[in-house]
Structure 1
Amino acid sequence: MNQPLPIVCKTKPATDWRQAIPLPLLEAALILTWSSGFVGARFSIDYAPALLVVFWRCVVVTLILLPFAARQLRRTSPVTLLKNAGIGLLAMSGYLFGVIQGIAQGVPAGLAALFADLLPMGMALLAALVLRQRLVWQVWAGLFVGLLGVVLVTHGALAWGDAPLWAYGLPLLGMLSLAVATLWQKHLPATQSMDLLPNLWLQCCVSSVAFGVIEGWHGSLAPIPSSGFALSVLWTVGLSTIGGYGLYWICLRRASATRVASILYLSPPVTMLWAWAMFDEPLSWQMALGMAVSAVGIWLVVRSENRQKP
């Protein structure tokens, strides 16, 4: 008598939710959350020293993410931890310190933001000069057009200011710090890459130590008992760090470093929309024109990279 064959149920492998979300949707969320960091910094300076807010921002994220990151952190080799910690110091501590300390030294906020928005150009130059990567002329054209749009958007907020000459190099160094971290992360071997939450935890942990040393050298690290300080920390924790940096690394795993950086060309006009909604700052047709020009530049970059795909 023939025995019935057993029924084998094939289950589909689990799909990473980040892969299921369309990349343009993730990039739109990245623009929204990344620009929130500039608004959070603008809001926080009325209630506390900027670096004190950044210190507590990193501390709170470290505490929130620890339960989700502890298991993988225990299983990760010291070499991998050290490399990812180095990336975190450059991406978070170096970038935020350069931009914020430059403003604290008297560099106008608009000029500091423009220097920070040179990230796509800085990354492309580093990739070409250091990594010997060749970018087609359409990508370079898109980067220059996108930068032109940023200049149009920020033109009304630009001023030279009275800061010492060396202070103008701080935002540029911050931008280069993030550019180096991005390229390092992008070229890290798969065996030394960490999942998003443990990686973000590690970056915030080492950055909290760095900012604790810097701010503690000048004053107290105690939190300021005010609703404004608490709101500043919570804003930058949820939107700017978990949202902004988290989406930055997610997009970087799914697209080229040049594309992800070029998307941030839309950060200045979106930041001004935030400022209009929260601080009643005026909008202008020049801002809308600059946003359109930046969008054309991003389209050129994305279109060129899509053509190069096999």
Structure 2
Amino acid sequence: MNFFLSVAFVLCWSSGFVGAKLGTQDAGALTILMWRFLPLAAVLAVAAAVRRRTAWEGLTSRDPGRQAVIGLLSQSGYLLTVYWAIQLGVSSGTTALIDGTQPLVAGALAGPLLRQYVSGRQWLGLCLGLVGVALVTSADAGASGGVAWWTYLVPFAGMLSLVAATFLEQRSRTQVSPTVSLTVHCVTSALVFTGAALASGSAAPPAASSFWIAIVWLVTLSTFGGYGLYWLALQRFGVTRVNTLMFLMAPVTAVWGALMFGEPFTAQTAVGLAIAVSAVAVVHAAGGSPARSDDTTAPHRNLARAVRDGSPSRR
């Protein structure tokens, strides 16, 4: 079951880069993101109103606000930078490469912030994964020589935004259901992107049917699939193992590009994909719960519970 969850997460998350490429052929980033989240937020808000006595039961008044901040970081900030980078000329493969450095950042911070310490074997897998991702996207990055150097900082900022959201969620004192978090995150993103699109005069959608195909793609595969499965997998696997799966995004994105856009799938791509898969296997084969402090005094009880519930031994 966990294997199929991992596969589904990787496929759906990587579909977002392809959807961004599809959408930016017809419209700007703000236009796409507005129409991706506005109808979705309306549907989720209605569903939340119907189910308010179940999914929302037991939450304090602060919990939705905390989820709004998480959504602002993990969805609004992350997606805007990805779409903007692709719109500026950074290729989807290079964007996926920069996003693929997330496991190293998350692994370095998991110990001091979450007490989920990364073992030597896991660090080996993380570094191996970075090599695999670099192999897949190095040629693609070289082909984007006409892009200004600062544009590569845009997806990097988005990667940091997602890492911040991940740690903020893991440090939460309340376990919020994926239904509630997805609703709050999407409503927050709809408000942010709609306001930004209206202010910039880019709210009107293009007439091209390909634009709406991209919107449907992004809502079904990327939002419900990738984003929803991200938080589900995070609860089941923990930070390090989920973020290690991010190493597969760039190679899988290359496969998406080859199948949908006729982009070349070279021997270097195949080697990088094999190395990335090996990296995931190394980290997941490390086994055992992450090492953590025994200090479970009042300020840390809920944090320890979140780490414990996310460890492989509790699956």
Q: Taking structure 1 as the reference length, what is the TM-score of the superposition?
A: 0.86
SS of 1:89 mapped into structure 2:
helix
The percent of aligned pairs where both chains have the same amino acid is 36
Deviation of residue 304 (structure 1)? 1.2
Counterpart-to-counterpart distance in 2, 1:247 and 1:202: 16
Q: Which residue in 2 is equivalent to 1:184?
A: 168
Deviation at 1:230, TM superposition (A): 1.0
Which residue of 2 is the match for residue 289 of structure 1?
271
**Distance apart, 1:283 and its partner CA:** 1.2
Of 231, 242, 258 in structure 2, the residue corresponding to residue 260 of structure 1 is: 242
Rounded to whole Å, the distance in 2 between the matches of 1:271 and 1:290 is 12
CA contact (8 A) 1:107 1:161 kept: no
* TM-aligned CA deviation for residue 254 of structure 1: 0.4
Residue identity in the other structure for 2:199: W
- For residue 285 of structure 2, give the secondary structure of its aligned residue in structure 1: helix
Q: Tell me the CA shift for residue 203 of structure 1.
A: 0.3
Match of 1:4 in 2: none
Instruction: Tell me which amino acid in the other structure corresponds to 2:130.
Output: L
2:105 alignment partner, one of 110, 122, 142? 122
Residues 268 and 168 of structure 1: is their aligned pair in 2 closer, same or farther, counting only changes over 3 Å?
closer
Aligned mate of 1:49, from 14, 18, 28: 28
Pairing 1:171–2:155 present: yes
Q: 1:171, CA displacement in angstroms? A: 1.1
CA displacement at 1:77 relative to structure 2: 2.8
CA RMSD of aligned residues (A): 2.1
- The alignment status of 1:25 with 2:7, answered yes or no, reads no
User: Equivalent residues in 2 for 1:85-124 (5 A)?
Assistant: 85-124=68-107
In structure 1, C-alpha distance between the alignment counterparts of 2:183 and 2:25, rounded to whole Å? 28
2:61 alignment partner, one of 70, 78, 89 = 78
How far apart are residue 198 of structure 1 and its match? 2.1
In the alignment, the residues of structure 1 paired with residue 31 and residue 10 of structure 2 have an alpha-carbon distance, to the nearest angstrom, of 25
Name the stretch that deviates more: 215-224 or 39-48.
215-224
Answer whether contact 1:61 1:242 (CA < 8 A) is retained: no
Shift of 1:165: 4.4
Secondary structure of 2:194's partner? helix
Q: 1:243 to 1:227 in 2, by over 3 A?
A: same
- Separation in 2 of the partners of 1:154 and 1:242? 27
Render the CA deviation track for 1:129-168: whole Å, top value 9, x for unaligned: 5456532111111100011110111122113644554433
Question: What secondary structure is seen at the aligned counterpart in 2 of 1:158?
Answer: helix
- Residue 47 (structure 2) pairs with residue 68 (structure 1): yes
CA distance in 1, matches of 2:274, 2:87: 31
Q: Is the 8 A contact 2:93 2:254 kept in 1?
A: no
| In structure 2, C-alpha distance between the alignment counterparts of 1:264 and 1:210, rounded to whole Å | 26
* 1:226 aligned onto 2:208: yes
Return the TM-score normalized by structure 2: 0.84
CA distance in structure 1 between the aligned counterparts of 2:112 and 2:171, rounded to whole angstroms: 16
Q: Does 1:298 align with 2:280?
A: yes
More displaced stretch, 59-68 vs 206-215: 59-68
Using a 3 Å threshold, how does the CA distance of structure 1 residues 69 and 161 change in structure 2: closer, same or farther? farther
Distance (whole Å) between structure 2 residues aligned to residue 165 and residue 149 of structure 1: 23
Structure-1 residue corresponding to 2:221: 239
User: Does residue 19 of structure 2 align to residue 40 of structure 1?
Assistant: yes
Letter in 2 for 1:172: F
Quick check: 1:115–1:172 contact (8 Å CA) kept in 2? yes
Aligned to 1:204: 186
Q: What's the offset of the Cα at 1:219?
A: 1.6
Bigger shift: 250-259 or 162-171? 162-171
The structural deviation recorded for 1:207 is 0.9
The answer on whether the counterparts of 1:34 and 1:240 sit within 8 Å (CA) in structure 2 is yes
What code does the residue aligned with 1:103 have? I
> Which segment is superposed worse, 199-208 or 56-65?
56-65
2:293 aligns with none
After superposition, the C-alpha distances for 1:180-211 in whole angstroms (9 at most, x for unaligned) are 1112212222xx23221221111011011112
* Whole-Å separation in 1 of the counterparts to 2:280 and 2:122: 9
- Of residues 175-184 and 100-109 in structure 1, the stretch that sits farther from structure 2 once superposed is 100-109
**Length, aligned pairs only:** 287
AA partner of residue 65 (structure 1): L
**Residue among 134, 141, 152 paired with 2:135:** 152
Quickly say closer, same or farther: Cα 1:66–1:307, change in 2 above 3 A: closer
Preserved contact between residue 122 and residue 175 of structure 1 (Cα < 8 Å)? no
> Which runs of 5 or more residues in structure 2 are unaligned?
291-311
